[in-house]
């Protein structure tokens, strides 16, 4: 079921729900510049067997409002959008899964709205924490020493804002996914082209917005709140991750109280078909964990 929700004055977000209305809610939050259709259909279907799955388009993506130039916003506002989606759909508490920027937004929900989060699964992201990273040998490193984005990703991102027609845009997006996938597993170009064709059709065209790159990202650190949270958190460890390479996942698990690591061999910063069953299993294992009870 699709629904357009008003989350702020003149701001509307496209949402979709799948699965039984009476099942435990599960909110999917995609990354920067990505619409809700970035969550592959087989993954959504697998999760919807046990959950009322909710996905949505961020502002300036898909069928949601595109108006950053007229009404600029902060990255933290995107986290409040997620809360507004739950409110608009009458959901008191939900399991939350966040990918990339969506993983950061999920951490903001865990820190700022723990009463709304039953569990959290973080994929391809970094900790909103200044806590140092403890290496396997016991020595500690400041977060500034964690590895940055790979040169291959930075190179393809340098062409992100170039104007392209539909076919050239599709070619670029597939090439982008090839780099993001990390190279440890065979790459299925046809699968990612089909994914992007559906995303473009959903949005009504191949246009993209730099809004999330331009949005104010200050005020996002939640070191103390994450270190003391009672929300069950799972961190997906992707060995081939090129945007937030290991040990970012390990650092998140150290920075968030009680967080557990789940490795998915061969995974990078993408959701290829071959890894979806393992990812669905990991997410469902997290949602089966009892969360904090209301007081």
The per-residue pLDDT for 291 is 55
The closest of 74, 117, 115 to 234, measured between CA atoms, is 117
> How many other CB atoms sit within 10 Å of the CB of residue 165?
9
If one counts the domains in the chain, the total is: 1
The predicted-structure confidence for 97-108, as pLDDT tens digits, reads as follows: 999 999 999 999
d(CA 274, CA 271): 8
**Residues 41-55: what's their mean pLDDT?**
98
Domain of 130?
2-287
Give domain status of residue 292, yes or no. no
**Residues 166-170: what's their mean pLDDT?**
95
d(CA 169, CA 218): 31
The per-residue pLDDT for 290 is 62
Read off the pLDDT band of 161 (50, 70, 90). Answer: confident
Phi-psi region of 60 (alpha: psi -120 to 50; beta: other; left: phi over 0): left
d(CA 282, CA 287): 9
**Residues 134-158: what's their mean pLDDT?**
96
Q: What angle do CA 84, 89, 93 make, to 5 degrees?
A: 75
Percentage, residues of the chain above pLDDT 90: 96
Read off the pLDDT band of 295 (50, 70, 90). Answer: very low
The predicted-structure confidence for 82-124, as pLDDT tens digits, reads as follows: 999 999 999 999 999 999 999 999 999 999 999 999 999 999 9
Give domain status of residue 294, yes or no. no
Q: Tell me the CATH number at 177.
A: 3.40.50.1820
The answer to whether residue 125 scores a pLDDT higher than 60 is: yes
Give domain status of residue 142, yes or no. yes
The predicted-structure confidence for 232-286, as pLDDT tens digits, reads as follows: 999 999 999 999 999 999 999 999 999 999 999 999 999 999 999 999 999 999 9
The predicted-structure confidence for 216-234, as pLDDT tens digits, reads as follows: 999 999 999 999 999 999 9
18 in Cβ contact with 71 (< 8 Å): no
Q: Which tokens belong to 11?
A: 């701001």
The answer to whether residue 50 scores a pLDDT higher than 80 is: yes
The per-residue pLDDT for 198 is 98
HEC string of 89-154 equals CCCCCEEEEEECHHHHHHHHHHHHCHHHEEEEEEECCCCCCCCCEECCCCCEECHHHCCCCCHHHH
Read off the pLDDT band of 292 (50, 70, 90). Answer: low
The number of residues making up the chain comes to 295
**Residues 206-224: what's their mean pLDDT?**
96
d(CA 164, CA 180): 20
Give domain status of residue 224, yes or no. yes
38 in Cβ contact with 30 (< 8 Å): yes
Give domain status of residue 100, yes or no. yes
Give domain status of residue 280, yes or no. yes
Give domain status of residue 229, yes or no. yes
Residue recorded with tokens 């992100």? 160
Q: Which helix (H) or strand (E) covers residue 157, if one does?
A: helix 151-157
């Amino acid at each position: 079921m699709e629904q357009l929700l008003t989350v702020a004055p003149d701001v509307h977000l496209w949402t979709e729900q799948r699965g039984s209305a009476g099942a435990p809610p599960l909110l999917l939050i995609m990354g920067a510049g990505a619409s809700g259709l970035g969550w592959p259909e087989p993954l959504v279907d697998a999760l919807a067997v046990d959950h009322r799955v909710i996905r949505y388009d961020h502002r300036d993506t898909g069928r949601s409002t595109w108006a950053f130039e007229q009404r600029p916003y902060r990255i933290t506002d995107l986290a409040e959008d997620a809360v507004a989606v739950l409110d608009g759909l009458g959901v008191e508490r939900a399991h939350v899964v966040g990918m990339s920027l969506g993983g950061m937004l999920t951490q903001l929900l865990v820190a700022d709205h723990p009463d709304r989060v039953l569990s959290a699964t973080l994929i391809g992201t970094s900790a909103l924490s200044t806590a140092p990273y403890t290496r396997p040998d016991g020595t500690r490193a400041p977060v500034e020493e964690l590895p940055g984005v790979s040169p291959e990703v930075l190179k393809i991102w340098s062409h992100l804002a170039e104007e392209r027609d539909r076919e050239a845009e599709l070619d670029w997006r597939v090439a982008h996914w090839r780099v993001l996938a990390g190279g440890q597993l065979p790459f299925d170009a046809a699968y990612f082209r089909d994914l992007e064709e559906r995303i473009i059709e959903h949005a009504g065209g191949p246009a993209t917005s730099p809004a999330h790159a331009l949005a104010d990202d200050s005020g996002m650190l939640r070191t103390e709140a994450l270190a003391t949270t009672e929300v069950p958190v799972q961190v997906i460890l992707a060995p081939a991750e090129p945007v937030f390479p290991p040990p970012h996942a390990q650092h998140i698990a150290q920075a968030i109280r009680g967080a557990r690591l789940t490795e998915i061999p061969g995974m990078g910063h993408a959701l290829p078909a071959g890894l979806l069953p393992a990812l669905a299993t990991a997410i469902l294992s997290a949602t089966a964990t009892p969360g904090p009870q209301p007081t």
